[in-house]
């Protein structure tokens, strides 16, 4: 498939600067541009590449001012990142998509599978599981008995939905298992990355609400609840019974104690440790224990000077003792 | 199945307060209670729910004093958490349990499988592997050649037992692999969560002792040893040759350097970094590098004031210089 | 198979001290030595074991001075660790090796598989995937469509190569998926541990260069690049578009922000958080945010005294105020 810059601009409501007939047939990152490719410039760190890219066409925000001439054709748009996303969606929608239940998948006879579902080879769908229309289950996904998956849910390879929550009661000789008789509910439009784990609840449900996006290698413990449209980067961990609000953003490797509530629209930095309820909407937190980011980075800067501060403190003590003697 | 409050109380040695004939047929969390359900109250944070729960019956500790009347029937017990565990175990023991080797599992001809073992579809059991009686191996578990699994061991979906330890020797051109010819031994009554990795040793054994409970996404490197009845939360990582004592508790995302010894009954907080041998029984550690928890939380509180302390230190210096001039 | 100390010494260019005819037929760790076993001593922490080991033969560095007599036969070598690696390689090369495509693997008809490749049961090889000669793909590995694997690559159980990068654009109602149309390229001689994830790029390639060694449970996000012969311990996480140089060493659980460059030969400590470009070759970093290790450990030592410093600062303030009054 080949398109002209004009055709692309019309698709996404952009304005061409340069050769309207420039032809493109593929995508490329701006720093790896080549003839026939369309690239985009969104992150200002990559601006220098626009002057040297080999790509034929570059999507760029309307308000970016260029300081030198460029050899590529530009398509000016309101938001280059959104426009490239739209183009990639158009491109992906033209690609053939796998569908149906692969004969190498295991699907329990008592599972209820919706329409237009893809279940890959070696996926395991347990007894009583429900999977809504349009969902995609990749290889080596395990969905334990009784868990419910909504519509248009994507679960990438190796993720495990509904393994037992981690519940044991100590006695004299060791630990007794607390049976985990609850389930996992994953609502519509959720995407779950590879090798992520969402444990079933002790009783009741572990719930991943509508539109949540979880990256790879994340741990969601029993009885947790993640609010609508919250996104979490890779390797985040939630201890049991914690509730995360909607529209939160959580950086990679962050951890949450059990039984806490995180408010809607909270932003949690990478590697943070959140150990208590958060205050309210729009709060930002980073560090372990997590605090305000401005304070965190100021304190981190001072931390480097701690050894000097320690010496200075001792020096001041000495000088004050001298002063006291001589006053 | 339906039971009366009286019948339940008799099963677990409790005392009914309220309607002895109250009927229950399911479990529910206290905050999600409904008619016909039994709930429990153990964590004091959830006490307010007892006054509004819709559950018909609630298990509660003998010594909890209620300040208002409740509409549910209470069963007073010594330890509500242990009692609900016992009830859940009774409930689970009445449920049908999968057993046998699923025809979709791969089990090497040279593997030795005990009695009453469940091996799920897509589990992989390598050459020479031994699995003891009553063990349960969930989908997508890989047990590499030669590893030994005890009795009544549970391994959840996607966990990998016996992949090569991470051993490479550098040379001029790159790294040479150090073959890992040891095995993994998992003793009786161990439970391993989903997507956890226990590497085989370079030589000798990586050993998970009796009664250990490992959560999801944990890394146990080659030649490690974890003592009896130690429990580790999700995403913990152990570097090579480290030995953890018995009856330890390790919080999520904690990490351990290689070649260290952690004493019995050590409590390690979430996200800690343990980089040297620990002192002795009952020690508590948190932080990275890990220190005493009281000190850790005091220091964390002061850390927030570090920028102010830095300014104050400079101010004091200035004032002392003034005083010196004028003395 | 049985060898004499003399035969072993000849294989690895070592010198026998003790009984040249001492027979060995297995390997053992020095602290678990037994008759007929060969052990090695490399880490000085293990030196005391040489005086009590039951092993018949021990490999030891030429320059180690022993302070007491030993009952085992020694083989003196330049580098005991390299020598044992060499012996283990000889041993491993004599063991039978699985090869070929197991009938229980799924290999797309459009995949191109090289010579002497092993593909285990339940491995999934997608459309258009290429796998070079001599590579080994263990059970439950998923290689998504279009990804390219070089020669002599090993991928351990459960790892996922080429799942979608984590790319979503927010809109009013939720997040729209940004299709990930790029691939993953894994070059020759790479080893990847168990349950590790390498995501495909949005466009272009995520690249793991020649000789890289990745441990278990690692996250490599879309559009990342890892330079030749870099090694990463378990549970490390890289955010999107980050480039790591060659010959770097990264400790377990370390994390990297997106869009940063780490120079060649950088050493990153365990649990570090690297949030900006690094300076140059040979740099060492630890902590979160990562700083110079000497400074990190000094600051960590002072951190323990922070509560005392805070009190001392208040005391000095008070004393200065007194001095000011009385001057």
pLDDT at A280 over 90: no
Kindly identify which residue of chain B lies nearest to residue A235, measuring between CA atoms: B235
In chain A, which residue's Cα lies nearest the Cα of C318? Answer: A320
Q: Which among A163, C1, C157 is positioned nearest to B126, based on CA atoms? A: C157
Is residue C106 within 8 Å of B104, Cβ to Cβ? no
The percentage of residues in chain B with a pLDDT greater than 70, rounded to a whole number, is 100
**Best residue of B123, B141, B178, B285 to probe chain C, by most C CBs closer than 10 Å:** B178
pLDDT of residue B316: 93
Confidence class for position C36, pLDDT limits 50, 70, 90: very high
- The ipTM assigned to this model is 0.94
Q: Which of C140, C156, C209, C222 is catalytic?
A: C222
CB contact under 8 A, A120 and C122: no
What secondary structure, in 3-state letters, does chain A show?
A: CCEEHHHHHHHHCCEEECCCCCEECEECCHHHCCCCEEEEECCHHHHHHHHCCCCCEEEEECCCCCCCCCCCEEEEECCHHHHHHHHHHHHHHHCCCCCEECCCCEECCCCEECCCCEECCCCEECCCCEECCCCEECCCCEECCCCEECCCCEECCCCEECCCCCCEEECCCCEEECCCCCEEEECCCCEECCCCEECCCCCCEEEECCCCEECCCCEECCCCEECCCCEECCCCEECCCCEECCCCEECCCCEECCCCEECCCCEECCCCEECCCCCCCCCEEECCCCECHHHHHHHHHHHCCHHHHHHHHHHHHHHHHHHHHHC
Q: How far is A196 from chain C (nearest CA, A)?
A: 10
Instruction: Name all contacts of B254-257 with Cβ < 8 Å and 24+ positions apart.
Output: B255/B288, B255/C235, B255/C252, B255/C253, B255/C270, B255/C271, B257/C270
Q: Which residue of B has its CA nearest to A292?
A: B304
A327 confidence band (pLDDT: 50, 70, 90): low
Mean pLDDT within C6-34 = 94
- From the list B163, B288, B312, the residue facing C156 with the nearest CB is B163
Per-residue pLDDT tens digits for A205-257: 999 999 999 999 999 999 999 999 999 999 999 999 999 999 999 999 999 99
pTM: 0.95
Vertex A107 angle, CA B139 and A185, to 5°:
80
Minimal-distance CA residue of chain C relative to B218: C217
- What are C89-142's pLDDT values in tens digits? 998 888 889 999 999 999 999 999 999 999 999 999 999 999 999 999 999 999
Average pLDDT over residues A271-275: 98
Q: Bridge partners of C119?
A: C101, C137
**What token pair was written down for C185?**
């390229």
Cβ <8 Å between B298 and C307 = yes
Q: Considering only the C-alpha atoms of chain B, give the largest distance between any 2 of them, rounded to a whole number of Å.
A: 93
Cα C116 from chain centre = 25
Per-residue pLDDT reduced to its tens digit, A94-132 = 888 999 999 999 999 999 999 999 999 999 999 999 999
Active site residues of A: 222
Smallest CA–CA distance from C197 into chain B, residue: B195
Of the residues A80, A271, A319, A326, the best mutation for testing chain C's interface (the one with the most C CB atoms within 10 Å of its CB) is A271
Is residue B1 over pLDDT 80? no
Q: How far is C131 from chain B (nearest CA, A)?
A: 20
- What are the tokens at B74? 């209470």
A90 Cβ contact list (under 8 Å, min separation 6): A11
Quick: pLDDT tens for C221-252: 999 999 999 999 999 999 999 999 999 999 99
Rounded-to-integer distance, Cα A90 and Cα A95, Å: 9
pLDDT for residue C324: 86
Establish, for the pair of chains A and C, how many residue pairs have beta carbons separated by less than 8 Å: 175
Question: For residue C181, what is the enclosing H or E element?
Answer: none
Closest Cβ–Cβ partner in C173, C219, C302 for A216: C219
The residues, ordered by sequence, that sit 6+ positions from B279 with a Cβ below 8 Å of its Cβ are B263
Strand-pairing partners, residue C149, are C131, C186
String of b and e for C61-98 (b: at least 16 CB within 10 Å)?
Answer: beeeeeeeeeebbbbbbeebbbbbbbbbeeeeeeeeee
What distances in angstroms separate CA A257 from CA A261, B11, B259, one per listed residue?
10, 34, 29
- What subunits touch chain B, counting only 3 or more CB pairs under 8 A? A, C
**Dihedral angle of Cα A41, A44, A45, A48, to the nearest 10 degrees:** 60
Q: Is the pLDDT of residue B286 over 80?
A: yes
A191-192, strands of its sheet edge to edge: A100-101, A118-119, A136-137, A154-155, A191-192, A213-214, A231-232, A249-250, A267-268, A284-285
* Interface contact A299-B304, CB threshold 8 A: yes
- Per the prediction, chain C carries an average pLDDT of 95
Evaluate whether B272 touches B288 at the Cβ level (below 8 Å).
Answer: yes
**pLDDT score recorded for residue A326:** 79
Cα-based distances in Å from B130 to A151, B32, B112, B120: 42, 44, 5, 16
Is pLDDT of B232 > 80?
yes
pLDDT the model gives residue C327:
62
CB contact under 8 A, A156 and C158: no
Answer whether residue C195 shows pLDDT above 70: yes
pLDDT of A93 strictly over 70: yes
Q: How far apart are CA C44 and CA C35, in angstroms?
A: 23
The HSE-up count of residue C203 (CA atoms within 13 Å, CB side) is 21
Q: Do C193 and B166 touch (CB under 8 A)?
A: yes
Q: What is the mean pLDDT of residues A50-65?
A: 95
The predicted-structure confidence for C256-300, as pLDDT tens digits, reads as follows 999 999 999 999 999 999 999 998 879 999 999 999 999 999 999
Alpha-carbon span A172 to B299, nearest angstrom: 36
* Interface probe with C: pick from A83, A87, A141, A234, most Cβ of C within 10 Å: A234
The reported pLDDT for the residue numbered B327 is 62
pLDDT at B281: 79
pLDDT mean over B17-36: 94
Tokens coding C274: 């690297």
According to DSSP, the β-strands at B273-274 and B255-256 are parallel
Q: State yes or no: pLDDT of C317 exceeds 70.
A: yes
What average pLDDT score do residues A54-59 get?
96
Mark yes or no for CB contact C178/A88 under 8 Å. yes
* B222 included as an active-site residue: yes
Q: CB distance B29–A221 less than 8 Å?
A: no
Mean pLDDT within B159-180: 94
Enclosing H/E stretch for C87:
helix C80-94
């Amino acid at each position: 498939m080949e398109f002209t810059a004009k055709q692309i601009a019309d698709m996404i409501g952009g304005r061409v600067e340069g050769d309207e007939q420039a032809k493109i047939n593929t995508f490329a990152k701006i720093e790896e541009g080549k003839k026939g490719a369309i690239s985009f410039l969104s992150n200002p760190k990559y601006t220098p590449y626009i002057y040297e890219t080999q790509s034929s066409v570059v999507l760029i925000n309307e308000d970016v001012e260029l300081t030198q001439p460029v050899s590529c054709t530009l398509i000016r748009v309101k938001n280059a990142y959104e426009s490239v996303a739209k183009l990639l969606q158009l491109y992906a929608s033209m690609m053939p998509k796998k569908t149906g239940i692969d004969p190498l998948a295991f699907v329990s006879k008592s599972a209820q599978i919706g329409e237009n579902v893809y279940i890959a080879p070696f996926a395991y769908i347990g007894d009583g599981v429900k999977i809504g229309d349009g969902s995609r289950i990749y290889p080596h996904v395990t969905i334990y008995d009784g868990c419910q998956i909504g519509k248009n849910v994507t679960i990438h390879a190796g993720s495990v939905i509904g393994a037992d929550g981690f519940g044991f009661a100590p006695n004299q000789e060791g630990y007794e298992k607390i049976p985990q008789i609850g389930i996992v509910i994953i609502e519509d439009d959720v995407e779950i990355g590879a090798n992520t784990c969402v444990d079933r609840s002790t009783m009741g449900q572990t719930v991943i609400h509508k539109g949540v996006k979880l990256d790879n290698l994340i741990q969601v413990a029993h009885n947790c609840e993640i609010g609508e449209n919250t996104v979490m980067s890779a390797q985040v961990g939630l201890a049991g019974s914690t509730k995360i609000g909607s529209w939160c953003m959580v950086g990679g490797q962050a951890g949450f104690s059990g039984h806490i509530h995180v408010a809607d629209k909270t932003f949690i930095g990478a590697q943070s440790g959140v150990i208590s309820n958060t205050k309210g909407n729009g709060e930002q937190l980073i560090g372990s224990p997590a605090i305000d980011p401005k304070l965190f980075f100021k304190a981190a800067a001072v931390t480097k000077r701690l050894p000097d501060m320690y010496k200075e403190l001792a020096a001041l003590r000495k000088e004050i003792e001298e002063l006291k003697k001589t006053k």
